[in-house]
Chains A and B, each alone.
Chain A
Amino acid sequence: MRKYSVFALAREAMRGHKGWDEQWSSPEPRAEYDVIIVGAGGHGLATAYYLAKEHGITNVAVLEKGWLGGGNTGRNTTIIRSNYLYDESAGIYDHAVKLWDGLSQDLNYNVMYSARGVMMLAHNVHDVQVLKRHIHANRLNGIDNEWLSPEQAKEFCPPLNISKDARYPVVGASLQRRGGTARHDAVAWGYARAASARGVDIIQNCEVTGIKRAPNGAVMGVETSRGFIGAKKVGVVAAGHTSVLMDMAGVRMPLESYPLQALVSEPVKPVVPCVVMSNTVHAYISQSDKGELVIGAGTDQYISYSQTGGLHILNHTLDAICEMFPIFTRMKMLRSWGGIVDVTPDRSPILAKTPVQGLYVNCGWGTGGFKATPGSGNVFAHTIARDEPHPINAPFTIERFRTGRLIDEAAAAAVAH
């Protein structure tokens, strides 16, 4: 792998950028691998990378039905934070935030992790109780999260409307300064490049259509649109389509898939310096380095695999944005799109072994898994390599829905992303 740096860039600038290598190679699938990862989203690619880097397992293929990073990884609004309530969640999301911090250097790829701060607004007494509960729990878990008055919130984000006349006035906010955003494509590409450099085969346009099991029930490999590929270990990391894949191995998943929409505005000069989220008025916003306002909505009400949602959802989302930022009515929506998110009953992920020997699953990130990408890939690689979970993901089993040992972030806060 040719190292990226400003010097390399300058050298290439002088010779027309002719010397760059392919960021990842696109080989033909081999007959058999030690490990197959299904789904080349951020989580799948990160898993492959850490398998190679930390566990020395390089005979790995990542199979992707479309183009790598084209699922939710390339569709999300890239909010990163770790101020979750429960110890288990704080554990995994903060593991990720710590990895985000040096990720550009580790991957030698600028993923533009931007710790610009994530602010969550409170609009009523109930919101205050919920946010303060998080702040106290975070503090005792060593995770930064602080309380702001409406005036402090406005100072941190000047365009915010804190007028008492708003339909739902801002009564305070919590702020995680280490929270922020990153560049989604760069995350997928950076992991793909680094994994490929360590010998991982990334195979695009290769849809998994079946999971083959030996007479003893153990996994033998997968049927794909490009033929059978053998492997004794298969990790499914397919976000909204996980239930479909797991069904191929006869495993029923506690997941529901919903469309989730987002949109961007035309680019303008810097105006929103941080991430602002409001659960009560149901919208969140940040501004990309390119200048677009990046705006996210809630999920559609009904489960579906259709990646287009309805106009009414965007309508409600923009209502909320213009409530928080009345100066934005003349901004223009440039693009809108949807992704399919996989939602568990307790809104926490599943990162675990399964009842099928050699089959592992990493899913259920729902509306908020981008932020976990490095942490998730890291501990999932451990789980596959050692055939046992890392202490950080040990609580995120499938069985918890049977035993009732939930990690109910939804109940605790009903906060998305």
Chain B
Amino acid sequence: MAATHRISGHGRLTPAKTVRFTFDGQSYSGLAGDTLASALLANGVHLVGRSFKYHRPRGILSAGAEEPNALVSVERDAARRTPNVRATVQELYDGLSASSQNRWPSLSFDVGAVNDLASPMFSAGFYYKTFMWPKAAWKSLYEPKIRAAAGLGVSPDQPDPDHYSARFEHCDVLVLGGGAAGLAAALAAAETGARVIICDEQAELGGALHFEAGTSIDGADGWSWAQATAAKLAAMDNVRVLPRTTAFGYYAQNFVGLTERVSEHLASPGHDLPRERLWQVRAKRVILATGAIERHMVFADNDRPGILLASAARTYLNHYGVAVGQNVGVYTANDTAYAAAIDLKKAGVNIAAIVDLRDNPAGALVDEARALGIEINHGRAVIKTGGRLRVSSMTIQPKNGGGERNIPIDALLMSSGWTPSVHLFSQSRGKVAFDDATKRFLPGTYAQDCVSVGACNGTDGISATLDEAYAAGEKAAKDAGAKAGKSAKPKAETSESWAGGMLGAGPGAGADTTVKAFVDFQNDVTAKDIRLAVREGMRSIEHVKRFTTNGMATDQGKTSNMHGLAIAAETLDKDIPAVGLTTFRAPYTPVTFGSIVNHGRGVLFDPTRKTAMHGWAEAHGAVFEDVGQWKRAWYFPKPGEDMHAAVNRECVTVRKSAGLFDASTLGKIEVVGPDAAKFMELLYTNPWEKLEPGRCRYGIMLREDGFIYDDGVVGRLAADRFHVTTTTGGAARVMNHMEDYLQTEFPHLNVWLSSISEQWAVIAVQGPNSRKIIEPLVEGIDMSDEALPHMSVREGKICGVPTRLFRMSFTGDRGFEVNVPADYGQAVWEALWAEGQKHGACAYGTEAMHVLRAEKGYIIVGQDTDGTVTPNDAGLDWAIGKKKTDFVGIRGLTRPDLVAKGRKQLVGLKAKDLKVVLEEGAQIVADPRQPIPMTMIGHVTSSYWSENCGRGIALAVVIDGRDRMGQTLHVPMPDSVIEVEVCSPVFFDEKGERLNG
């Protein structure tokens, strides 16, 4: 279909460059440089969507980001569908396919529109007053219906194949907005040599110059000046120009989030381009040049397709060469709409009438309109419109009542003035102030190093804007440390006028409660809804907003907030500032999750940590488990083995011969310095001063409140040097905990802490043959029991590389932990493996490790303890230095409840039936026949099948557990009750003889 509403000789697009697209399945053609909205209008299509609540037919209101109505779904392919795209910002590309939303079966015939007829029932907040009977119907009937009716577009249903990118950037001056003000400010800053970034949400910089035909700057027309200036800036090394980039969030300390749409406008973006890019910019100075947004007039039926903002109609004409109608009405309370009428008239469009609410509009623009023969009705209002899928008439009336007149039209332009865009200023925590003379909120008190210029600062008129912006750009650069600039500031002439404007409902919104005079189009909020909210006691503007949902749609109230506020203020009989403004919340316009997430998907969601021996484990068929960020070898199944069989074999082999275990993930911290022992005394419950160099000790660390925080074996390498190990999960937080105490509580201690978790790979060799496996590879360490007894550490060499060799055991059998520099981890492992093969040793994973330690009753902090367990509860009183007078948690330990009877204590549990393996987390009761709620006296913390014991074994915490040895207790499961006997937590080698076996 050829575009019939394009006016030749108008606009800046090239007529030869046609682009095909479809809307709701119908094919159309547009021009390169069109937005979807301008291309639709060029084809005479005004009806593009349906409203949220009443399903009213809706057209295109604006030509920018403030669009509340023209939301469509854009689909490149099945996996690339984006709901709720504003047609006014979506650039056209060849093959673009868009469809309307929130209608069934079709846009022009939408069954949901019955809501419009029933609308008297659907007053603001009606749902709070009904749907309560019968009670059960809320869940089964009402809510499902409401949910299905709500929502605009449809969520994508396939993972997104595109990728998103991110950059961090610093600059001296960040300019937000690339209209005349932003360009002038950026130019002034850039010419000092300062590093400048300027961004604008539109495809081309220029802002309001898109439509302001009456402005010339430095002798050129405004638009050409803007393009030349943008090009000049882009060519400078110290400047980055970012079109299609929205500043969406202004955070603390001049940190601004920008999102750049990199390939959204391309027909075939290719795989190398990201779809969007997130810029996180820290700027020394920020210049806000975010412009102003035109408001609509509030009167009955102001929402029909074909009714749009005056500046939007002008943009469509002057930039896109599109006439929004052939017989156009204008309803205004300010001067700017006159310029729209004049431009259209000059382009050959009939202007049916200008209706101006003001009594005596005057000035050059008014005169010019009159001179062009346009009928001007001042002191009059449009009180309603006609038409169904497109506006067909307007009814006008003197504003204080009187005879009505019906005027046929096919489009209606409206303007009630301009709202400065203080969104980002407000996000920066600046306080706005109400300017009573011009009835608008302007930047008042600043909270960060930023400045507002141009229309967003309430500066009307291009000359004043350029002066202000240029000076601000120079000053910002200077404040950021740059030298003085050199160029001359731009000079402008203009015939544009911004005078006039009104807030709130016009006469057509009437006191009559049957009319629908829309304030917030998308959410279908009318003037009467706002009045109702006030009548119902909503006096704070935040209450009004929430009760009516005014300003809560996807446009975040860009056109509606000020009207809503004015109507509320009028109804309350208060001044606007006394009612207050709602908070501006980030983002400025909706931002895709993809843009914010950017690279953080899949494997890059969270770093995957692998040990030095990971490759070996993988090659040997290990199954891995996630432990924090680590991938740990869980078990090593041989062909045909399931997990159970593999773990049984591993457990038996370790106790019969030996096993190799990758313990590298344990946290390791080196505590060094003259006061290292003193520090250890304070951080751990155990005594350290007397521990000889070369010996190890199992240490327990408490929180201030006396509960176990972490544990691990600590080796004293020298008088002033400890090699501390922590749990895998505790590595980072124990380091932080230590630093915290060192810096805030014990700063007098001369101690340094280094995390060495990544520096050392750790190979545990456990089992009766462990020494035989290690000994041949070690140099310089006497490994005899006398020279290297259990719980000692030596430095020497293994396979020719340095090692810290610990003799320690987490299995209860003779054992060693070989620490080697991480780079040698796999080589040393392989050497040990080769030795191990001579003795029938195996590799074992975390599951076997868990079983083996449980057989010995060794706890795992975080599994057998949960932050409510004291050393005494865990049976570890022996680890508290009896003579110590201070350590973190010592006072906590003495609190009455921590020493009272009735605490849960660690015990072993044996099910009466040997074969039963209890479920971890299962609860324990004394009397299984009691009614629910039952009195629970403990729970199972660890439970395994122990092949070495030939039975299921479990650890549990039970109230007064140590006094219950031999008692029968019960574990009620959903389908049965399991009988268990309380026993010692040590199931294997109770005397501990195997440590030297």
A-facing mask of B581-605, CB < 8 A → 1, else 0? Answer: 0010111001111101100111101
Shortest C-beta distance, A328 to chain B (Å), equals 6
A175 within 8 A of B: no
Is A298 an interface position by the 8 A CB rule?
Answer: no
- The residue in B532, B596, B932 that gathers the most chain A C-beta atoms within 10 A of its C-beta is B596
B132 CB contact (under 8 Å) in A104, A136, A315: A104
Indicate with 1 or 0, residue by residue over A187-203, a CB within 8 angstroms of chain B CB atoms. Answer: 00110000000000000
CB of A270 closer than 8 Å to a CB of B: yes
Q: Identify A327's interface contact among B126, B158, B251, B895, CB under 8 A.
A: B158
CB of B120 within 8 A of chain A? yes
Report if A30 contacts B (CB, 8 A): no
A interface footprint on B830-874 (CB within 8 Å = 1, 0 otherwise): 000000000000000000000000000000001100111000000
A129 touches B154 (CB 8 A): no
Residues of A within 8 A of B162 (CB): 329
Q: Which residues of A contact B542 (CB under 8 A)?
A: 67, 70, 74
* Nearest Cβ on chain B to A43's Cβ, whole angstroms: 19
CB distance B251 to A310 under 8 Å?
yes
Nearest to B589 among chain A residues (CB) is A332
Nearest chain-A residue to B923 (Cβ)?
A136
* Contact (A406, B868) CB under 8 Å given A23-B537, A124-B626, A136-B922: yes
Partner of B151, one of A125, A269, A335: A269
Closest residue of chain B to A192, judged by CB? B537
Complex interface: chain A residues within 8 A of B593 (CB): 265, 318, 321-322, 328-333
> Which of A105, A130, A289 sits near B147, CB closer than 8 Å?
A289
The answer to whether A404 and B895 touch across the interface, beta carbons within 8 angstroms, is yes
Q: Size of chain B's interface in residues, with CB distance under 8 A?
A: 110
Give every chain A residue within 8 A of B863 (Cβ-Cβ).
126, 129
Shortest Cβ distance from B356 into chain A, in angstroms?
A: 30
Cα distance, A320 to B82, chains bound together (Å): 20
Judge whether B932 and A140 touch: CB under 8 Å. Answer: yes
**Binding stretch for chain B, among A31-39, A52-60, A109-117, A219-227:** A109-117
A17, B123: Cβ atoms under 8 Å? yes
Which one, B121, B158, B554, B936, contacts A266 given CB within 8 A?
A: B554
Task: Please determine whether A328 and B921 come into contact, CB atoms closer than 8 angstroms.
Answer: no
Distance of B591 from chain A, by nearest CB (Å): 5
> At the interface, yes or no: A354 with Cβ under 8 Å from chain B?
no
Chain A positions within 8 Å of B620 at CB level? none
A-side contacts of B868, CB under 8 Å: 406, 408, 411-412
Write out the residue numbers on chain B whose beta carbons fall within 8 Å of the beta carbon of A20: 532, 535-536
Distance (Å) between the CB of B845 and the closest chain A CB? 12
Contact A330 B594 (CB under 8 A): yes
A323–B605 CB distance below 8 A:
yes
Contact of B155 among A23, A269, A402 (CB under 8 A): A269
Q: Do B601 and A114 touch across chains, with their CB atoms under 8 A apart?
A: no
Please tell me which stretch of B58-66, B138-146, B204-212 contacts chain A, meaning at least 4 of its Cβ atoms lie within 8 angstroms of it: B138-146
Q: If A67-B540, A104-B138 touch, does A132 touch B933 (CB 8 Å cutoff)?
A: no
List chain A residues, Cβ under 8 A from B600: 315-316, 319, 322
The answer on a CB contact under 8 Å between A266 and B251 is no
In the complex, whether B429 has a CB less than 8 A from a CB of chain A is yes
* Residues in A whose Cβ lies below 8 Å from that of B82: 330
Chain A residues in 8 Å Cβ range of B862: 126
User: Which of B123, B537, B625, B939 makes the CB contact (< 8 A) with A25?
Assistant: B537
In the complex, whether A326 has a CB less than 8 A from a CB of chain B is yes
Interface assignment of A29: CB less than 8 Å from any CB of chain B: no
Instruction: Scan A173-192; emit 1 where CB is below 8 A from any B CB, else 0.
Output: 00000000001011001100
Q: Judge whether B202 is part of the interface by a CB distance below 8 angstroms.
A: no
Q: In the complex, A290→B83 CA distance in Å?
A: 15
Among A66, A136, A314, A405, find the residue whose CB has the most chain B CB atoms closer than 10 A: A136
Q: Which residues of A contact B252 (CB under 8 A)?
A: 306, 308, 310
> B639 an interface residue at 8 Å Cβ cutoff?
no
A156 interfacial by beta-carbon distance below 8 Å: no
Taking the complex as formed, is B130 at the interface, i.e. its CB lies under 8 A from any CB of chain A?
Answer: yes
Which of A23, A165, A204, A411 touches B866 (beta carbons < 8 Å)?
Answer: A411
Query: Chain A contacts of B996 at CB under 8 A?
Result: none
Closest to B130 in A: A6
Q: Which secondary structure dominates where chain A touches chain B? A: mixed
Report yes or no: A335 in contact with B135, Cβ–Cβ below 8 A. no
Query: Are A330 and B249 in contact, with the CB atoms below 8 A?
Result: no
0/1 interface trace, chain B 918-944, chain A, CB 8 Å (1 if under): 011111010000001110100100000
* Residues 505 to 538 of chain B near chain A (Cβ within 8 Å): 513-514, 528, 532, 535-538
Output the least CB separation between A27 and chain B (Å). Answer: 12
Complex Cα distance A136/B554, Å?
Answer: 44
Q: Which residues of B contact A386 (CB under 8 A)?
A: none
B594 to A: closest C-beta gap in Å: 4
Q: Which residue of B lies closest to A407 (CB)?
A: B868
Q: Across the interface, do B896 and A404 meet the contact criterion of CB distance under 8 Å?
A: yes
Task: State whether B933 touches A8 (Cβ < 8 A).
Answer: no
| Contact of B921 with A132 in the complex, beta carbons under 8 Å | yes
Chain B contacts of A405 at CB under 8 A?
Answer: 897
Question: Does B989 lie at the interface of the complex (its beta carbon under 8 Å from any beta carbon of A)?
Answer: no
Closest-CB distance, A321 to chain B (whole angstroms): 7
Q: Is the CB of B129 within 8 A of A140?
A: no
Query: Is A13 on the interface with B (CB-CB < 8 A)?
Result: yes
Complex contacts, A411 vs chain B, CB 8 Å: 707, 866-868
Given A16-B513, A319-B597: A267 and B155 within 8 A (CB)? no
A133, B921: Cβ atoms under 8 Å?
yes
Given A9-B130, A268-B155, A318-B597 in contact, is the A308-B590 Cβ separation under 8 Å?
no
Q: Are B932 and A142 in contact (CB under 8 A)?
A: yes
CB–CB B939/A268 < 8 A: no
Q: Within 8 Å of chain B (Cβ to Cβ): is A356?
A: no
A316 to B120 Cα, complex, angstroms? 44
Q: How far is the CA of A319 from the CA of B164 in the complex (A)?
A: 12
CA distance A132 to B592 in the complex (A): 36
Structural contact, A318 and B705, CB atoms closer than 8 A = no
A7-28 vs B, CB cutoff 8 Å, 1 = contact: the mask equals 0111011101110111111100
Residues of B within 8 A of A252 (CB): none
CB pair A333–B867 under 8 Å, yes or no, is: no
Q: Which of A12, A16, A135, A141 has the most CB of B within 10 A?
A: A16
Q: For the complex, is B556 an interface residue (Cβ under 8 Å from A)?
A: yes
Residues of B in contact with A (beta carbons under 8 Å apart): 52, 80-84, 120-121, 123, 126-133, 135, 138-139, 143, 146-148, 150-160, 162, 164, 249, 251-252, 255, 257, 280, 427, 429, 513-514, 528, 532, 535-540, 542-543, 546-547, 549, 552, 554, 556, 583, 585-587, 590-594, 596-597, 600-603, 605-606, 608, 625-627, 705-707, 862-863, 866-868, 892, 895-898, 919-923, 925, 932-934, 936, 939, 972, 974
Name 13 interchain pairs, CB-CB below 8 A, sorted by A.
A17-B123, A21-B536, A22-B537, A23-B537, A126-B862, A168-B626, A183-B128, A190-B128, A289-B143, A290-B549, A306-B252, A329-B156, A412-B867
Given contacts A139-B974, A268-B154, A269-B154, 10 further A-B contacts (CB under 8 A): A22-B536, A124-B627, A290-B150, A310-B252, A327-B160, A330-B83, A331-B592, A336-B587, A404-B706, A412-B866
